[in-house]
């Protein structure tokens, strides 16, 4: 039975969903129907269950290697690259030996980054959409350390999920082939960005994905009504759908078309929270640039 030979390890809210579907459109790449299997971090994530709705989310993590392998059983000989997109992996370097043991030391690693301030805010807005986050953004940033102590899921850790440098450094030292890209470049130069990734994966780099114009999980906020409640809020109905009906790219597109009818203007980050995060992230971004020399021209001007 085939197993992944590349892993997209993160970060959360950096476009890994879109990347999952773009790669899955390539005839030589296999991506499982369920994205974000989180097998290697399942035990860690399951123990973080004290935040509102955390137990519902944790139900979909894959807890056994046998179950994990089942997600790749239909991969065919034509698939030169087989992938697992689980952004949680980057945050827990202690799982690296297990990844190497189960998938092989030669597994390729893809790391997706995003302006850390925008990533943090996008993370916050998702929990607002799900009606789980009740605090203002600035109040939530200040509450993060207390939530960690209380055992909330790491998805509530808005700042921590945007600290990149040391985590990237650890993975680059642990694996021979590590590809680092930004969500911004994927959006601004989608074809060039995805074809460079094809080269890294060793598949036909001239292929043009049919779905490259689509943006999956665009974020933002929406009017509250029965439709948006069914789509966003953690519930028994939503868990049933997610468990028994695989989410296809077409279904994702249909969901976005429906949501556009209820879209609200995207909120801006308040000045207090923005200034706080600039100060919080500037040293990390400086270290990141020294490590990998990544182009971050589209990131916040005070972080460059």
> For the ranges 50-54, 67-71, 141-145, 211-215, which has the lowest average pLDDT?
211-215
Provide mean pLDDT across the span 173-196. Answer: 96
Q: What angle do CA 58, 59, 65 make, to 5 degrees?
A: 95
| Euclidean distance between CA atoms 190 and 7, whole angstroms | 20
**How many residues are present in the chain?**
304
Is the model's pLDDT at 59 over the cut of 60? yes
Q: How large is the average pLDDT for residues 162-169?
A: 98
DSSP state of 122: H
Mean pLDDT over all residues of the chain?
91
Structure confidence at residue 147 (pLDDT) = 98
On the 0-12 / 13-18 / 19+ scale of CB atoms within 10 A, 271 is exposed
Mean pLDDT is lowest, of 11-15, 73-77, 103-107, 251-255, for 251-255
Residue 4 has pLDDT above 90, yes or no: yes
Predicted pLDDT at 167 = 98
12 vs 249: which has the higher pLDDT: 12
In this predicted structure, the answer to whether residue 194 has a pLDDT above a threshold of 80 is: yes
Query: pTM of the predicted model, to two decimals?
Result: 0.90
3-state secondary structure of 222: strand
At 207 the three-state DSSP class reads coil
Instruction: Note the pLDDT of residue 250.
Output: 72
Give the number of other Cβ atoms within 10 Å of residue 202's Cβ.
Answer: 14
At residue 163's C-alpha, the angle toward residues 157 and 166, to 5°, is 130
For residues 295 and 278, which has the higher predicted lDDT (pLDDT)? 278
6 DSSP β-pair partners: 83, 108
Q: What is the pLDDT of residues 105-134, one digit of tens each?
A: 999 999 999 999 999 999 999 999 999 999
Name the pLDDT band for 2 (thresholds 50, 70, 90).
confident
Question: What pLDDT does residue 26 have?
Answer: 97
Q: Which of the four pLDDT bands, split at 50, 70 and 90, describes residue 187?
A: very high
213 vs 246: which has the higher pLDDT = 213
- Rounded Cα distance between 13 and 122, Å, is 7
Separation CA 201–CA 199 (nearest Å): 5
3-class state of residue 33 by DSSP: coil
What's the whole-number mean pLDDT along residues 233-244?
56
Alpha carbon of 255 to those of 18, 148, 220: distances in Å? 14, 32, 14
What is the rounded distance in angstroms from the CA atom of residue 176 to the CA atom of residue 27?
Answer: 26
Arithmetic mean of pLDDT, 57-66:
87
Stretch 288-303: mean pLDDT:
91
Looking at residues 205-224, what average pLDDT do you find?
A: 84
Give 124-190 as a 3 state SS string.
HHHHHHCCCCCCCHHHHHHHHHHHHHHCCCHHHCCCHHHCCHHHHHHHHHHCCCEEEEEHHHHHHCH
- DSSP labels for 57-99? HHTTS---HHHHHHTTTT--TT-SEEEEE-GGGGG-GGGHHHH
- pLDDT at site 224: 82
Contact status, residue 96 vs residue 176, Cβ threshold 8 Å? no
Task: Walk across the sheet containing 178-182 and list its strands.
Answer: 29-30, 81-85, 6-10, 108-113, 178-182
- pLDDT category of residue 91 using cuts at 50, 70 and 90: very high
């Amino acid at each position: 039975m085939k197993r992944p030979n590349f892993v997209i390890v993160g970060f959360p809210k950096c476009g890994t969903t879109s990347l999952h579907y773009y790669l899955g459109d390539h005839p030589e790449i296999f991506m499982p129907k369920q994205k974000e299997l989180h097998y290697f971090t399942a035990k860690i994530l399951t123990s973080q269950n004290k935040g509102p709705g955390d137990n519902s989310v944790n139900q979909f993590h894959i807890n056994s290697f046998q179950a994990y392998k089942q997600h790749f059983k239909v991969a065919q000989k034509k698939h030169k690259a087989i992938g697992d997109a689980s952004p949680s992996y980057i945050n827990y370097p202690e799982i690296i030996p297990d990844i190497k043991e189960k998938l092989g030391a030669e597994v390729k690693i893809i790391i997706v980054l995003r302006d850390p301030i925008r990533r943090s805010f996008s993370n916050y807005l998702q929990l607002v959409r799900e009606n789980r986050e009740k605090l203002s953004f600035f109040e939530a940033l200040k509450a993060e350390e207390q939530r960690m102590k209380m055992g909330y899921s790491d998805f509530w850790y808005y700042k921590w999920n945007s600290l990149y440098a040391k985590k990237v450094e650890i993975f680059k030292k642990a694996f021979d082939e590590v590809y680092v890209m930004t969500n911004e470049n994927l959006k601004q130069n989608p074809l060039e960005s995805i074809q460079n990734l094809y080269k890294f994966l060793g598949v036909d780099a001239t292929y043009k994905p049919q779905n490259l114009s689509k943006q999956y999980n665009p974020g933002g906020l929406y009017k509250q009504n029965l439709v948006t409640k069914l789509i966003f809020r953690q519930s028994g109905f939503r868990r049933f759908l997610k468990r028994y009906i695989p989410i296809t790219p077409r279904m994702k597109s249909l969901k976005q078309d429906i949501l556009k009818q209820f879209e609200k203007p995207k909120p801006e980050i308040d000045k207090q929270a923005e200034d706080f995060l600039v100060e919080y992230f500037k040293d990390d971004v400086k270290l990141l640039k020294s490590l990998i020399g990544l182009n971050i021209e589209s990131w916040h001007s005070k972080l460059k």
